[in-house]
Structure 1
Amino acid sequence: MTSPEAARPVARRTSPGARAVVAALAIDIAFVIAFAAIGRASHDSDVWAGLWQTAWPFLAALGAGWIVTLAWRAPSAPLRTGLGVWAVTVAGGMLLRATSGQGTALPFIVVATLTLLLALVGWRVVAAIVRRVRR
């Protein structure tokens, strides 16, 4: 005789497809570049001329965040991936800015921290809500 638990289907964890991983990474990169572009534009700077200089520390840290969190295993998970990627991106980006002679004034740190939290975790929260609603 089988138990009721044995009769229930077991939820299998499936790994995300390559398309989902690439899409998540592309979204993260787009948000980091948008953050840098908006920041440059808000200070009346030439957005395109200095975009790489502003973005590269955060893009490098984003890459480190993906590696540290093993983000490809659950690329759209808000807590498991999003918070870790965000924390490494902000901390690493600020460290790289400081070591490369770029500014890290407290107001910039606060704005970057909040903006990147909203971007890197926020899209994952929206994706999780959409997935939940579709079920």
Structure 2
Amino acid sequence: MNHPRTATTSPATSPAPSRTGRSRAMLLALDVVLIILFAALGRDTHQHGLNPAGILVTASPFLVACLAGWLLLRRRLSPASLWPGGVILWLITVVAGLGIRALFGGGVALSFAVVTLCVLGAFLLIPRLAADLLARRNH
């Protein structure tokens, strides 16, 4: 008895992720790496040590805030674009990250908040600016 074949997609034949999807995933991964670098640089500057657990504890409020920002923005704005998604993501990462840090007893002195705003601004926005410039150049 012949049964109609049902279309199944095997991993080998499934469609590849779109270039945009891969670009966003790479940018999200870069955001994570740069936030961890921000924490490592801060810990090194203040002689708190560069042990991985300590770096992750320092980075965690900003990582949580950044990931939440990606989730919040992904439906309406592209967090991978410079404007307005990237700028809003940067501000969410800084403000929510500082808030989470304060809730768990971490320091949020004005000087730390200003440094956080500036460094994470550079770390989160410069890659988006470069990607936007490259995309415009290629079109």
TM-score (norm 1): 0.82
Preserved contact between residue 20 and residue 75 of structure 1 (Cα < 8 Å) = no
Aligned mate of 2:34, from 27, 31, 35: 31
Find the aligned partners of 2:71 and 2:124 in 1 and give their Cα distance: 15
Find the aligned partners of 1:89 and 1:71 in 2 and give their Cα distance: 18
Q: Deviations over 1:79-124 (max 9, x none)?
A: 1321111011001100000000000011000000011111111110
Unmatched 5+ stretches in structure 1: 1-14
Find the aligned partners of 1:37 and 1:60 in 2 and give their Cα distance: 17
- Does the C-alpha gap of structure 1 residues 85 and 78 become closer, same or farther in structure 2, counting only changes over 3 Å? same
Find the aligned partners of 2:42 and 2:118 in 1 and give their Cα distance: 13
Unmatched 5+ stretches in structure 2: 1-17
Find the aligned partners of 1:128 and 1:21 in 2 and give their Cα distance: 13
- Does the C-alpha gap of structure 1 residues 94 and 64 become closer, same or farther in structure 2, counting only changes over 3 Å? same
Structure (1 or 2) with the greater helix fraction: 1
In the alignment, is residue 18 of structure 1 matched against residue 8 of structure 2? no
Report the Cα offset of residue 17 of structure 1. Answer: 3.4
Aligned mate of 2:92, from 71, 88, 91: 88
Q: Deviations over 1:18-51 (max 9, x none)?
A: 3122101101111111100111111111112411
Find the aligned partners of 2:97 and 2:121 in 1 and give their Cα distance: 13
Give SS of 1:46's match: coil
Report the Cα offset of residue 134 of structure 1. Answer: 2.2
Which protein is bigger by CA-based radius of gyration?
2
